[in-house]
Structure 1
């Protein structure tokens, strides 16, 4: 290892493919590669991840690193890409932590589980020089609840928005495996089936539009909410107008976005909100709740639900679609808004922090 390799960047969460956090990790390392910034860097992750990163020094993740991780001793600075990581010593000299959200404070979970999240985060906060929040909302949420956390008095709180890698495909047509969607209009929701994502609130819109379908892209992790959601779909007789795709490839996700009528995201707990920005890049109308980080990230080009009352949601959807179809340059405006979330710009902001600590 070169003597000037001083910073270890944690990409362990890329083990969970096709997730927002995995995409953010990829955006960072590709952004650093684009900037040709590698003289001080090494990456920590699984073998599959590291095969993609042949231009950098690497440290291989092991499951037993939760109990003892000798790799970090070689480095002056650790960048932990998720506040809940369990793989690094709490008292390492200098740390940067990326805080994605404090959703565990706002979800209906047990006090025991909440305290576990807080304890784990506090371990990582020891000796942290920079706490990087992915939105102004997340920063405000941390400051509002700072009495729950223990951190250095000189720790600086920064905001660096997530950066995305937008991919342009030559072919817009859905592949054969999505043939059942080719002749219908559908709304698209991307995210884990979970109470905080609030997919149940979408069913009245589908029920009110007899020719409209609902497509969900989610992980394959089944939950109580998954069962509740499917039972409600059955109760409303919407089984034939619901399609659920689990852990699909990135290309398929893009094609499903490009062919949808709109992206719908009625989430009640977000630290950022990647799916709406992805849809905006491809010129699709985006309907979101006015909760947490979404107004900040989606901005003036989105359409908002202020409540989840069915009549309100149906009316806002109808009004938004009408506005979208009657605004000639709306697609261009949506794409322009999305482009501000550049993976290279995100990497530049992190480089400034790295340089200040070496």
Structure 2
């Protein structure tokens, strides 16, 4: 197997940033995966009442503390996390090296935006003196595209601005949309990723959604997490022109819908096989695997599908969920970050524009090239697979 050689107009990921339970920054994310120590911790029950007593929160994160008091009085947590993460990526390269603001796009994934804000606004409308006596400053936080729009306003990004919602597959869908946006000539470069906040209302919604007949499984559903991962997508020629090291080429994606949960294994195997075939690859070429690691029946079917397609191949595994908790909309974005970190480690890139980890992975060999496969299943009816490859 050889390192991927790509044309000047092929799309690459040339930078990324993350805010997670490991802390702020791609380096902390990478170091946390390398250490393999879980970042899910006990919650302060006074500050975070609800069904969960543990969660993967961003350590010490406060919107005003991260972004300053100006303009953040009514800003929700999800938006604050997104703005902070986008800012870290912009600061790494300098905005003057990211081209014209009118051409810099942003594709940000989320599930519902800020569940806390939606619930607070609804409650206020019902308990106020009259239903319409609400704080108008809080209304923008209730719309799904608040985080993407506010991030663009905060940093003066004037290119296309899109919000994607797709459950646990949101990160992969955001990347896929960004690829299409770029290839249609609407942005160069494009920032893409996904964000999720932790809140008590989200905790209750997830608890009931994952319980059967109102009864949670023994020990309760898996702990929740929060965070954001943002990637810089551009053409290979653009990265080289701006002296950015391409970290990985985007080799392709495949998404399929299902109505019958029993069909997940078959459909995901098909999605992976078609993604590989479309990229001119075989199952033996996969050297890094970042699956969702879901602890339910969907996760079991995902593992079975991967075994069906990959056969005897045992790629290096990247594990995020067990360390960070269930980060919902940000799940597959963190899987992408973990896969990208592993590929960067294999090709010897530095942490400033490429990252590495160790104990958050398992199995595999130490080859210095590779193809990363990122997969997921969303319980609302979709499976997906995305391929990244090291760049020669």
Fold-level similarity (TM above 0.5):
no
State the structure with bigger RCO (CA 8 A, min sep 6), 1 or 2: 2
TM-score of the pair, normalised by structure 1:
0.32
What TM-score does the superposition give when structure 2 sets the normalisation length?
A: 0.30
